[in-house]
Amino acid sequence: MIPRYTRPEMARIWEPENRFRIWFEIEAHACDAQAELGVIPKEAAAAVWERGKWEIDRIDEIERETRHDVIAFLTNLAEHVGPEARFVHQGMTSSDVLDTCLAVQMTQAADLLLDDMDKLLAVLKRRAYEHKDTVTIGRSHGIHAEPTTFGLKLAGHYAAFARGRERLVQARADIATCAISGAVGTFANIDPRVEQHVAAKMGLTPEPVSTQVIPRDRHAFYFSVLGVIASSIENLAVEIRHLQRTEVREAEEYFHPGQKGSSAMPHKRNPVLSENLTGLARIVRAAVVPALENVALWHERDISHSSVERMFGPDATVTLDFALARLTGMMDKLVVYPERMQKNLDDLGGLVFSQRVLLALTQAGMSREDSYKAVQRNAMQVWEKGGNFLDLLSSDADVAKHISRETLAPMFDMTYHTKNVDMVFKRVFGE
């Protein structure tokens, strides 16, 4: 990814230095296991650890001739290890190194993403409790529906990210497998105990059937989980974008001193962070379909998946890491306007209580169809001409036959719609 959307810690996972360090550890641990089994001299395994070095520029130079990255690495390693290097990579194939390394990198990336999600969840929980009782209008199809609270909105997003975190934990476990099984995965030239040893040392589990490559359904699941998390980011970002619209103005991104909203219009305060998050979510999701397509490889292996993973492995994780951090910062400083929320609630003269009136009329003996007609015709007058919904209902003869104004008035009470917020919070936060 470009530096604009890259955080250093995640970037380091995908840099050549980390990749070659992991390659070295895989090879060195394999040598230890081979030595314990008596396949290679113990002195050779010790020499790999003692003299094992590599230079990125030298590897690149060798690869320009060999056109093979693992061979280039092994050649450079041998230049430092010396004669004992002939025992390195015994019975192994390139995919043993590449796939096991990728599994390590993806678990490292998942650990950072899980930490990102913990920070986001902490902020969402704090802001949800802060606005647990901040009444606002709920919308369906973008149109006023019934009252809710801003805290309840945020609790819903918290729950989505909590589910995403659980999925990521599962995806991390699913991807954390090791393959040291040799050509076509039969262990013909390498003892399965080598794989078990390397897996234990690298924090992985042995892949049950690797067929020379680790099955790509694991990677597809991993990237699909990242895509779902990205969609949850976009879902919250779109909510903030809508709430910041001039006509709504119920919440907005923090506008820093000295910040400029437009090169042409000095008055502008744009939802640039949430718009940016919407775009970043598209980048993360772009990895999902190629990852699914990578599942179908020719026979025991091919490398059609390789180019995809070399690009989307870093891009998807780096982008999601940045997006989660940006969303956390945005929600931490989000400016909320309860007074504007109340104004918007009051704008339609009480129409948001229409369902409660409808239900009351049916309870009072009016058919549901007639109740709906009576409530709707008065509601449409408010929509089209303005006015007070309670006044119109009170003067409607059909309504008055069943319910008096004195009975109707208490139905226009906001607290009716917030009475179960505590219960929902207990479900979400377990408190």
Catalytically annotated residues: 141, 262
CA 215 to each of CA 200, 289, 295, 342, 358: distance values in angstroms, whole numbers, following the listed order: 20, 16, 7, 55, 57
β 177-178/205-206 pair status: parallel
- Residue pair 6/26 in contact (Cβ under 8 Å)? The answer is no
Go through 370-404 and write b for each residue having 16 or more CB atoms within 10 A of its CB, e for each that does not: ebeebbeebbeebeeeeeebbebbbebebbeebbe
- Biggest CA–CA distance in the chain, Å, is 102
Question: What are the backbone angles phi and psi of residue 150, rounded to the nearest 5°?
Answer: -65, -35
User: Looking at this protein, which amino acid is placed at residue 40?
Assistant: I
* DSSP element (H, E) containing 144: strand 143-149
Q: Which run of H or E residues covers position 140?
A: strand 135-140
Q: How far apart are CA 315 and CA 6, in angstroms?
A: 9
Is residue 350 helix, strand or coil? coil
Please give the C-alpha separations between residue 112 and each of 105, 109, 171, 241, 253, in angstroms, as whole numbers: 11, 5, 14, 27, 25
C-beta separation of 370 from 398 below 8 A: yes
User: Per the structure block, which two tokens stand in for 340?
Assistant: 């504007």
Counting every residue written for the chain, the total comes to 431
Q: Which amino acid is at 108?
A: Q
First to last CA, the chain: 40
Whole-angstrom distance, CA of residue 217 vs CA of residue 304: 14
Q: Is 141 exposed, middle or buried (0-12, 13-18, 19+ CB in 10 A)?
A: exposed
CA atoms within 13 A on the CB side of 194: 29
The answer to whether the beta carbons of residues 306 and 252 sit under 8 Å apart is no
Q: Token match 């380091």: residue? A: 12
